[in-house]
Chains A and B, each alone.
Chain A
Amino acid sequence: GAVVSQHPSRVICKSGTSVKIECRSLDFQATTMFWYRQFPKKSLMLMATSNEGSKATYEQGVEKDKFLINHASLTLSTLTVTSAHPEDSSFYICSAMSGGGAFEQFFGPGTRLTVL
């Protein structure tokens, strides 16, 4: 099946620094990628939809200047958390969509961000 990787899997940073998370589709081209955030024991919250070569579409309540998303190629999307604060600590999961008939979504393993 299709594989999506995320890097890093875990990151700890100081408050005020920026952190970049990479999401790659390894064996297929993903015209659309999604970024989710998951709080402890909660469901996935969609943050933004990213289409290759265009600006990301952010969900209501998600700060686009804080969570910068770049989808420069058909296999790579990045999420940069700028000026991170402790409340940004969370589990971030990316998902890539194949162009098959069912528009299936394949999920990365997630990145655990801890901001001190």
Chain B
Amino acid sequence: AQSVAQPEDQVNVAEGNPLTVKCTYSVSGNPYLFWYVQYPNRGLQFLLKYITGDNLVKGSYGFEAEFNKSQTSFHLKKPSALVSDSALYFCAVRGGNSGNTPLVFGKGTRLSVIA
């Protein structure tokens, strides 16, 4: 069975500091990994994905994530946080051989960037 763990309910970081939002996963086969961001009363916005290739993936709004196969992790990072980055972040996974099955989501991590 596929699963995603986001161990932190809340991450607080000062503006200008680097941020990390953690995600680990479990799938059979090669993983397809995604990060989404959600602002209040809005749908999910795609940030980035890992399918294959370079382990370091760069996405929207200056975010990046590193795929680590040995640690089954896909942590989201940004070198310098902005107050406008404050939102709810979801990590999601699908097994590479699972066809059109839906993404499995983590429980979400609320990021708060303090000015």
Q: Which residue numbers of A lie inside 8 Å of B, CB to CB?
A: 1, 6, 31-32, 34, 41-44, 46, 49, 91, 93, 95, 97, 101-110, 112
Known contacts A110-B41, A110-B42; is A34 also within 8 Å of B102 by CB? yes
Q: How many Å lie between the Cα of A49 and that of B36 in the bound state? A: 20
Number of interface residues of B (CB under 8 A): 23
B99 at interface (Cβ–Cβ under 8 A)? yes
Q: How many Å lie between the Cα of A106 and that of B36 in the bound state? A: 10
Q: Are B108 and A93 in contact (CB under 8 A)?
A: no
Note all chain B residues with C-beta closer than 8 A to A6: 43
Note all chain A residues with C-beta closer than 8 A to B103: 95, 105
Q: Which of B11-19, B44-52, B73-81 contacts A (4 or more CB under 8 A)?
A: B44-52
Q: Are A32 and B32 in contact (CB under 8 A)?
A: no
